[in-house]
Amino acid sequence: MEFFTRLEAEALKFFNLPQSDKDKAGPPDPFGYGFKKIGSNGDVGWVEYLLLNTNPQITSLKSLTVFRETPEIFRSTVNDYIQAVKRMTFEVVELMADGLKIEPRDALSRLLRDEKSDSCFRLNHYPPCPELQALGGRNLIGFGEHTDPQIISVLRSNNTSGLQICLRDKTWVSVPPDQTSFFINVGDALQVMTNGRLRSVRHRVLAESMRSRVSMIYFGGPPLSEKIAPLASLMAKGEESLYEEFTWWEYKTSAYKSRLGDYRLGLFEKKTGGAAGQ
């Protein structure tokens, strides 16, 4: 709770800086400050954000130079939070491995613990949008629908609604806000590693008219050179992989060329293996 409260306060200090100051930390490359634009392929949303590398050595120094007075407080608050959320996530994926009878039980956590783990951290700020009321109950997209590419995403938000997940029948369901909980999302890589047993669920965020939403998300990914394929210990006898083998680098490169809402796993499905699609 303490890490979260401190980081939320620091994040709001940053997002409340004049636009011209924040812009000095952008545009994202993909790390840095972004406003409305998401990724490099034309996606837009009612959101501003800071995308950071989780490696304390490189936690996007560029983005921190805007804090002329106290960049080190922001930096250490971010790093403390990341270290804590990472530790928790290692345990969570070990419990998932136990549940799926994956052996060894660190088969997933070792990828996140690896010093070359390709993980990132995102601070999102969804400013209130008073004009929304005039739109008469229409939805305004804060962050468009997508699945997360990595292994696992751990999201924490303030007490505002907006997050929704997409069910199999394509209906959207709101996730009730709970600032004492983490929301854990399975990423595309984990869907592949579990051969579809766990699914990377599509989600989105809708803007609110009155309150500003702050969320912080740790995206735990494997090293770039890691081969992503179903884990042998979880496969049933004779079970075949639903996916072609690829490295995380290949997947990530293809993901960053895609649009936010694209079904990215489609490119890597085995065409003969039956219906793995969404």
Sole window of 7-15, 38-46, 81-89, 223-231 interacting with ligand GA4 (rule: CB under 6 A): 38-46
Q: Least distance from C-beta 35 to ligand GA4, angstroms?
A: 12
Residues 8, 148, 188, 269: which binds ligand GA4 (CB under 6 A)? 148
Sole window of 77-85, 108-116, 254-262, 266-274 interacting with ligand GA4 (rule: CB under 6 A): 254-262
- Residue number of the CB closest to ligand GA4 reads 39
Residues forming beta bridges with residue 44, ordered by sequence position: 37
Q: How many DSSP H helices and E strands does the chain contain?
A: 7, 12
CA nearest neighbour of 67 among 113, 109, 16, 107:
16
Residues 255, 265, 268, 269: which binds ligand GA4 (CB under 6 A)? 255
User: Which is the catalytic residue, given 122, 204, 213, 264?
Assistant: 213
184/149 Cα distance (integer angstroms): 14
Determine contact, residues 220/114, Cβ cutoff 8 Å. Answer: no
Q: Least distance from C-beta 254 to ligand GA4, angstroms?
A: 9
CA nearest neighbour of 260 among 32, 36, 33, 39:
39
Amino acid identity, residue 21? D
Amino acid identity, residue 202? R
Taking the least distance from each CB to ligand GA4, the nearer of 142 and 149 is 149
Residues 125, 146, 202, 213: which binds ligand GA4 (CB under 6 A)? 146
Active site residue 213: yes
Q: Least distance from C-beta 116 to ligand GA4, angstroms?
A: 16
- Tell whether residue 92 is a contact of ligand GA4 (CB under 6 A): no
53/56 Cα distance (integer angstroms): 8
Total Cβ atoms within 10 A of residue 47: 22
Number of residues that bind ligand GA4 (CB under 6 A): 17
CA nearest neighbour of 69 among 14, 131, 5, 111:
14
Residues 149, 162, 220, 222: which binds ligand GA4 (CB under 6 A)? 149
Q: Least distance from C-beta 238 to ligand GA4, angstroms?
A: 34
The site string for ligand GA4 over 113-142 (x = CB under 6 A, - otherwise) reads -------x-x--------------------
Taking the least distance from each CB to ligand GA4, the nearer of 39 and 162 is 39
- Tell whether residue 30 is a contact of ligand GA4 (CB under 6 A): yes
Q: Least distance from C-beta 38 to ligand GA4, angstroms?
A: 5
The count of C-alpha atoms lying within 13 angstroms of the C-alpha of 218, restricted to the half-sphere facing its C-beta, is: 23
Total Cβ atoms within 10 A of residue 40: 12
Taking the least distance from each CB to ligand GA4, the nearer of 75 and 264 is 264
Q: Which residues of 74-110 are buried (b: 16+ CB within 10 A; e: fewer)?
A: bbebbbebbeebbeebeebbbebbeebebeebebbbe
In the complex, the residues that contact ligand GA4 under the rule CB under 6 A are 30, 38-39, 41, 43, 51, 120, 122, 146, 148-149, 219, 255-256, 258-260
By annotation, the residues acting in catalysis are 213
